[in-house]
Chain A
Amino acid sequence: MNQCDWQGATARIPWRPALSFSSSPFVTILHFLYKIMAVHGPFVKIHPVVLASIVDSYERRNEGASRVIGTLLGTADKHSVEVTNCFSVPHNESEDEVAVDMEFAKNMYELHKKVSPSEVIIGWYATGYDITEHSVLIHEYYSREAPNPIHMTVDTALQSNKMNIRAYVSSQMGVPGKTVGVMFTPLTIKYIYYDTERIGVDLLQRTRASPSRTNGLTTDLAQVASAAGHVQEMLSTMLSYIEDVLSGKVMADNSVGRYLMDLVNKVPKITAEDFESMLNSNINDLLMVTYLANLTQAQIALNEKLVVL
């Protein structure tokens, strides 16, 4: 289980030059790279709701369409871009031409703005693995709508046995004035959740395990039990690691040792009587409230019976 952030590989830069270019392009490339990073930084933060919508619109695509495109909405600030919403846009694609329903896109954006006025168009998405020439055209359209739009690809065809989710920013390249092309530089993606979103997604992870891909929502105490089970699992993982270190199989790491120290110290040291009294008063409170709730329910039931008499 990965405990650290995932950062995408920035080594590979996919670029499709429309025309070949000459003389030293490195300076220009570096210059433009620097410029993009200054505007958007290397991070794109995506909420899982966006990905779920994209997958859903891919599943509902028209007959014969191989991919789906749509607009990304969100907020952008100096250092990063946050994608919080999206909607799909109908389009037609064939060998030599591509038609996108711009009117529809504008309309939908207006409607969405009514609900959340702080969201702006920050880019577009497409399903599929590669960036094609059509993407360049579509990207051009979106550059008119938003400054420096982000292009996101979601590989729903699962070409590499994984759903590769990538984000790119485009930049001009080539010799200015003569042959210019467009280059898409990848950005790193971070998944960001609201707290409640995180809880929702964690619960829904369990649907993966069940064979019918379904999952009901559990009752109260069962949830506490499962959370406790989760913590227990984590503790056992750590214990096995500690065993390994003690028996010399694994090298001891100082930073991990410090974390462990913190963990053990977190259990507060309270004298037995103080703890007893705290515990008891808390339990008393809870029991009293339960009693009151039951009493109230009995009261209203009685009231109802009396009225009906």
Chain B
Amino acid sequence: MLTVFFDLWSDKKRSKISSVKTFSSSCVFVRLQVVLKIIKHYQEEGQGSEVVQGVLLGLVVEDRLEITNCFPFPQHTEDDVDFDEVQYQMEMMRSLRHVNIDHLHVGWYQSTYYGSFVSRALLDSQFSYQHAIEESVVLIYDPIKTAQGSLCLKAYRLTPKLMEICKEKDFSPEGLKKACIGYEHMFEEVPIVIKNSHLINVLLLDLQEKSTVADKHELLNLSSSNHLEKSLQLLMDRMDDMSQDIGKYNTYCRNLSKQQQQKQQYLQRRQQENAQRQSRGEPPLPEEDISKMFKPPQAPARMDTLLIAGQINNYCQNIKEFTSQNLGKLFMAEALQGHSS
């Protein structure tokens, strides 16, 4: 039963990944200490639903992106109001250059709360990064999923279509229709590969020998209701946003059609009057500029809808992954009971 499930879900997963095309980098190489630093940063400085951010440093080798180091950003809510982020960054980079650490800014990382990271802020930041360096990525670290047993680190990049749109800043429905971009094609996930040097391997060997065996196997934990509750709640909030957005769009459509009708009526009346005047021998009324009279209503920006849809999609994906894992675990528990009873 377990293998059947595994086949089903892995097939779905594989097909989804292959449908997204990667354009320049085929994968991202990450070193051990970057992973550990990100984990540590969240653990120490991020509590609850606050996000922690930082900068990734590395280099671009042929078609791959290698991330070799990172440093964290202090929280924005510091009481030191005149804290200069740019200056902090400059100083940090300068210092790191002295110790031969790659100082090319290749991206940034952010922690996320239950997978909610698709937002306007992220889009803007990533766009500015990608504008400067084509291969830059944003690493999303999910601490809650990691605490459940498996390291959850994903690298995303904006698709070229989305880059085009951001450049034009044309977020109207027509613009989006032209580019035919859907919420699934906003971000492309770049697979992460952990690559270590031989010396790090020796270190890992040493660590394994000298550390105690992990006594918590979080991955096999059966309790799921807490996580499901929170995820569903976030999903519901997003759906509310979505329905509001749809409502707005519908009103816009209705206004547009009403205006069209009014325009038609006005034209008709004009023609009738003109016909009457002609029959009476009077000069026809001057043609008025119709477009000035009937100004078309403002089309609502579609970017938010796209973002919300992307976020909902993300939530659903996460939920499905979670439920598939838990189903597997439940069947294992059943087998265990079966043996003893």
Whether, in the assembled complex, A22 has its beta carbon less than 8 Å from a beta carbon of chain B, the answer is no
Chain B residue numbers with a CB within 8 Å of A208 are 201, 204-205
Say yes or no: is B77 at the interface (Cβ < 8 Å to chain A). no
Which of B130-138, B158-166, B216-224, B263-271 contacts its partner? B216-224
Whether B337 lies near A270 (C-beta < 8 A) is yes
Interface residues of B in 259-305 (CB under 8 A from A): 302, 305
Tell me how far the C-beta of B94 lies from the nearest C-beta in chain A, rounded to whole angstroms.
9
Q: Is the CB of B36 within 8 A of A49?
A: yes
User: B209 at interface (Cβ–Cβ under 8 A)?
Assistant: yes
Within 8 Å CB of B98, what residues of A? Answer: 90, 101, 104
Number of B residues near A (Cβ < 8 Å) is 113
User: Which of B18-26, B27-35, B113-121 is the contact stretch?
Assistant: B27-35
- Cross-chain pair count, CB within 8 angstroms: 285
- Please report the C-alpha to C-alpha distance between residue A275 and residue B9 in the assembled complex, in whole angstroms: 26
CB-CB under 8 A from A107, the residues of chain B are: 91, 95
- Chain B residues, Cβ within 8 Å of A48: 36, 203, 207
On whether the beta carbons of B246 and A111 are closer than 8 Å, the reply is: no
**Within B176-221, which residues are at the interface with A (CB < 8 Å)?**
176-177, 180, 182-183, 191-214, 216-220
Nearest-neighbour CB distance to chain B for A197, whole angstroms, equals 5
Given the known A-B contacts A191-B211, A279-B330, A304-B182, are A163 and B206 also in contact in the complex, defined by CB atoms under 8 Å? yes
Chain B residues positioned under 8 Å from A223 (CB to CB): 149-150, 219, 325
Partner of A215 from the list B193, B225, B242, B324 (CB cut-off 8 Å) is B193
Contact with B along A1-41 (1 / 0, CB 8 A): 11111100000000000000000000000000000000000
* Chain A residue, CB-CB nearest to B232: A289
With most chain A CB atoms within 10 A of its CB, the pick from B5, B36, B322, B341 is B36
Stretch at the interface among A52-60, A128-136, A142-150, A239-247: A52-60
Q: Please report which residues of chain A, range 261-309, place their CB below 8 angstroms from some CB of chain B when the two chains form the complex.
A: 267, 269-270, 272, 275, 279, 282-283, 285-287, 289-290, 292-294, 296-297, 300-301, 303-304, 307-308
Q: Which residue of B lies closest to A191 (CB)?
A: B211
Residue in contact with B228 in the complex, picked from A60, A289, A296, CB distance below 8 Å: A289
Beyond known contacts A191-B210, A293-B315: 18 more, CB 8 A cutoff: A1-B213, A47-B36, A52-B33, A58-B199, A89-B99, A199-B147, A201-B36, A214-B194, A214-B195, A215-B193, A219-B9, A220-B325, A221-B5, A225-B328, A286-B326, A289-B232, A290-B324, A300-B313
